[in-house]
A and B are shown apart, each in its own frame.
Chain A
Amino acid sequence: MTPFEEALKQALERQEPAADFTARVLARSASEDTKAGGWFGAWRLGAVAAALLIAAGGAAYQRHEHDVRGIAAKRKLILAVRIAGSKLHEVRQRVAESAEVEQ
């Protein structure tokens, strides 16, 4: 065996890993997963919160619009009833007056 072959054999000799090698690898892998999951989780939570905020805002705006239209419709209705009632009152008064004149 030449000295070169001897050196090569030594370099390629099988070496057993340290006893905590598996545990270290698993621990590192778990830490990487948590890091990535944390980012994704926060982003997802933010998106859901934003969507909820938009939906709540939209619903509140719709409710406000409905209230504004409803109150305007109520005012119009009361005005219409007031005019109709007053005019009918005038008519009845005129009829009553003309009946009294005839008597």
Chain B
Amino acid sequence: MKNSILKMAIIAVSLSPVWAAEDFKLPINLDKLAERAKESVDVTLDSSMLQLASGFLSRDDPDEAQVKKMIGKLKGIYVRSFEFDKEGQYSMNDVQAIRAQLKGPNWSRIVGVKSIKGENTEVYLLKNGDQIGGIVLLDAEPKELTIVHVDGPISPEELSRLGGHMGIPNMGKEKKRTRRESGTPDAKEDERDDEQAEK
């Protein structure tokens, strides 16, 4: 009897870091940044709030219908965004506290972009076997800090599909515009595609 209890305790202790790694929480000290920010956004929507919001999304509006479909499986959406007047209003410790939680074995960094302007953007995915269990997007710019946590099964592609809707730019069109401006050979192909689409 004692042996089985001991075994169970050992299993529980050995599994606990995995659970901790999956359980991502936005640090509370981030709220202090709101005092220094010119503009701040704080969105906390747990599953019950998502369900409530879902009830108010129209099925007839294509944008809202798409969001309704997307959030059906989610457990929560959390956003903290701060825009500052000047640089240096948040410390790297604030960002590190977030990154530290994303070092668990189930989290993987799928994108990391650093620019010379000091913009540092990372996207992390939580994997539960073959399924995606959540996304964390961390965007640290000199005058802006944004953290988005989507808790639940969602892929970045699903979010990208909202491009062109709800004020989100369309990646495809944006790419074509850039190519047209730069005059790359693909530009002519894009023009042909657009003409065909119009027909």
Please report A residues at the B interface, Cβ cutoff 8 Å: 66, 69-71, 73-74, 76-98
Name the interface residues of B141-192: CB closer than 8 Å to any CB of A: 146, 148, 150, 156, 159-160, 162-163, 166-169, 171, 174-175, 178
Specify the chain A residue showing the minimal Cβ separation from B53.
Answer: A73
Least distance between B157 CB and chain A CB atoms (Å): 10
Q: Which of B45, B55, B171 lies in contact with A80, CB distance below 8 A?
A: B45
Which secondary structure dominates where chain B touches chain A?
A: mixed
Decide if A80 touches B123 in the complex (CB within 8 Å). Answer: no
29 CB contacts below 8 A, A to B, read: A70-B52, A73-B49, A73-B50, A73-B52, A74-B53, A76-B43, A76-B49, A76-B53, A77-B57, A78-B166, A80-B43, A80-B78, A81-B77, A83-B43, A84-B77, A84-B159, A85-B159, A87-B121, A87-B137, A87-B146, A87-B148, A88-B159, A88-B160, A90-B121, A91-B139, A92-B160, A94-B113, A94-B121, A97-B178
Name which residue of chain B comes closest to A85, CB basis. Answer: B168
Interface centre among A66, A85, A96 (most CB of B within 10 A): A85
Q: A77-B45, A79-B41, A80-B79 are in contact. Are A89 and B56 (CB under 8 A)?
A: no
